Structure 1
Amino acid sequence: MTATSIFVNLPTTDLERSKAFYEALGFSINPLFTDENAACVVLDENVYFMVLTRDYLATFTDKQIIDPKTHAQALIALSRESRDGVDEVLAKGLAAGGTEPREAQDYGFMYSRDLEDPDGNVLEFLFMEQAAAEQGPDAYLAGQA
């Protein structure tokens, strides 16, 4: 069976700035699918962001392209191996021109922080205790009491 690949399309007003931002987070750009209209950001072997100029993205839909600085359409959550991993990627993103729109969220079993790219697209980086993922948060927290 072939693995499913995920391509998330994100609008940008400055393609070069977006490429630099995502490279600063540790992701790579696939030059075979990158031109003056779009950049293919490789998160891992089956997950990609297609960062598209707003005009180019508009060729794929009849719907209005929203401004992610003022409207939310999607929040993209990406897991990390540890709480430190969440903090590390946020530090890289903030240094590369991103912003943190709200305080870190600590639920005991899960820790997350939001990072907006320079266009306002929201990435949530999170770490969840493996036992909480396996048992569910309520059972995990009950066992911690």
Structure 2
Amino acid sequence: MNKEIIFNLPVKDLDKSKAFFAALGFTFNPKYSNEKAAFMEVVEGSIRAMLMTEDFFHSLINKPVANAMEANEVIICLSCESREELDSLIAKATAAGARIPHPPEDHGFMYDQGFEDLDGHLWNLVWIAP
């Protein structure tokens, strides 16, 4: 069985969110995108996200959509191949408008830092020494 991760994220402004993530180097598949949702390649072939307008996201569930600016249910963590890749992604996220909640943490065997996207979703980047 081929396994991949696809997660759905509600966003306030789909076009602004697409521009933000494109600035980080993520790509979009127009075949599975429309005015309500954009299919984003985080890691091609294995990790993908569907960015959905809040109204569309809400139409798929039977409870309120959480406001990630006020509370978080999940932290999305992505591994990086190097400290340099991690620092580069943080710099791109900052330039695209992300909020950086804490400075990088260097534990010797592990280096990590996170950012908050335009809708308040938390993303953590981590490099672990081989």
TM-score calculated relative to the size of structure 1: 0.86
Unaligned runs of 5+ in 1: 131-145
Partner of 1:95: 95
SS of the residue 1:119 aligns to = coil
Q: Following the alignment from structure 1 to structure 2, what is the Cα–Cα distance between the partners of residues 19 and 96?
A: 11
Q: Following the alignment from structure 2 to structure 1, what is the Cα–Cα distance between the partners of residues 115 and 108?
A: 20
Do the aligned partners of 1:30 and 1:41 also contact (CA within 8 Å) in 2? yes
For the pair 1:76 / 2:76, whether they are aligned, the reply is yes
Q: Following the alignment from structure 1 to structure 2, what is the Cα–Cα distance between the partners of residues 4 and 61?
A: 24
Displacement of 1:126 in angstroms is 0.8
Partner of 1:113: 113
Displacement of 1:81 in angstroms is 0.8
Q: Counterpart of 2:10 in structure 1: which amino acid?
A: P
For the pair 1:104 / 2:89, whether they are aligned, the reply is no
Q: Counterpart of 1:109 in structure 2: which amino acid?
A: F
Do the aligned partners of 1:79 and 1:127 also contact (CA within 8 Å) in 2? yes
Partner of 2:35: 36
Kindly provide the CA deviation profile for residues 9-59 of structure 1, in whole angstroms up to 9, marking residues without a partner as x: 111000000001111111101101111111111012121011111111111
Partner of 1:12: 11
Larger helix proportion of the pair: 1
How many percent of aligned residue pairs carry the same amino acid? 35
Displacement of 1:63 in angstroms is 1.9
SS of the residue 2:68 aligns to = coil
TM-score calculated relative to the size of structure 2: 0.95
SS of the residue 2:51 aligns to = strand
Displacement of 1:6 in angstroms is 1.1
Kindly provide the CA deviation profile for residues 69-125 of structure 1, in whole angstroms up to 9, marking residues without a partner as x: 111111000011111110000000110111111121222211111111111111111
Q: Following the alignment from structure 1 to structure 2, what is the Cα–Cα distance between the partners of residues 69 and 96?
A: 17
RMSD: 0.9
SS of the residue 2:89 aligns to = helix
SS of the residue 1:86 aligns to = helix
